[in-house]
A = this chain, B = another copy of it.
Amino acid sequence: MNVLDIIKPENQVFCKSKLMTDATLSYCPGCGHGTAHNLTMEVVDEMGISENTIGVAPVGCSVLAYDFMNIDITQAAHGRAPAVATAIARTWPEKYVFTYQGDGDLAAIGTAETIHACNRGENIVIIFVNNGIYGMTGGQMAPTTLEGMRSSTSPYGREIKSMGSPLKMTELVANLPGVYYVTRQSVHTHKHARKAKKAIKKAFENTRLKKGLSFVEIVSNCNSGWKMTPNESNIWMEENMFPYFPLGDIKVNGILK
């Protein structure tokens, strides 16, 4: 059978979601942000909730999310997305409100906003892309940077003594009673991406059921900040990030695993 016989509209089984715009993603080649964006929009699309979904994208490589996701989005100040989302969810209790945050954003400058939105159990979804670094600003150390890992502000490797341990924000917020669902995923292989998509869907379902806060961490590469090729970075991630940030559900239906 000829390839051209296969490539016909009626045979199409996968294409970019219509909830993604035509704009070229501003991400570096192979960056997990792109996959995470697409999975999120695919979920919103499949759930048929795009008219009632409001995104909040603070500063980080994904600051331009509004250029890519074809839904209503508010761009928030660095670290403050959970506060912004809190207000939207409180004044529009029937909407699906999600934040899309990096690890510098969520676990450094935004620590207080994260902890308190979680503690209040706001009815929102937090998608937390943990790439262990400040991607956007050129690869500085993040709270999540691994021990010994090099970054532009830990050029000789992160040293626990002076810089502290990599922060497991996800485990931390899982302890808070207001948080209903906490999971850690990745998107670098088809298997992981499919699981991550399920997790994102579950999170949005929780919003629909008004269950409170759902927290989806996505461990992702910043190949550019890590100074590796995308595929190298994914392998490095499996070997180094996953042992410290193990994948899987941490809290389901309000119960710690």
Chain A residues at the B interface, C-beta cutoff of 8 Å = 108-112, 115-116, 119-121, 143, 160-165, 167, 171-172, 175-178
Contact B119 A165, beta carbon cutoff 8 Å: yes
CA distance A44 to B108 in the complex (A): 33
Closest 10 CB pairs of A and B: A120-B164, A111-B112, A112-B112, A165-B177, A119-B164, A111-B115, A119-B167, A164-B178, A111-B111, A165-B178
The A interface is mostly helix, strand or loop, or mixed, namely helix
Contacts of A112 in B (CB 8 A): 108-112
Which residue of chain B is the closest to A177 with respect to CB atoms? B165
Counted per complex, copies of this chain come to 2
When C-beta atoms are compared, the residue in chain B nearest to A111 turns out to be B112
Cβ–Cβ < 8 Å partners of A172 in chain B: 115, 172, 175
In the complex, chain B residues whose CB is within 8 Å of the CB of A175: 171-172, 175
For A164, the closest partner residue in chain B by CB is: B120
How many Å lie between the Cα of A108 and that of B113 in the bound state? 10
Residue numbers in B under 8 Å from A167 (CB-CB): 115, 119, 176
Closest to A169 in B: B115
Q: Is the CB of B165 within 8 A of A176?
A: yes
Q: With a 10 A CB-CB cut-off, give which of A109, A110, A176 has the most chain B CB atoms.
A: A176
* Residues of B contacting A165 in the complex (Cβ-Cβ under 8 angstroms): 119, 121, 176-178
Tell me the minimal C-beta distance from A255 to chain B in angstroms. Answer: 16
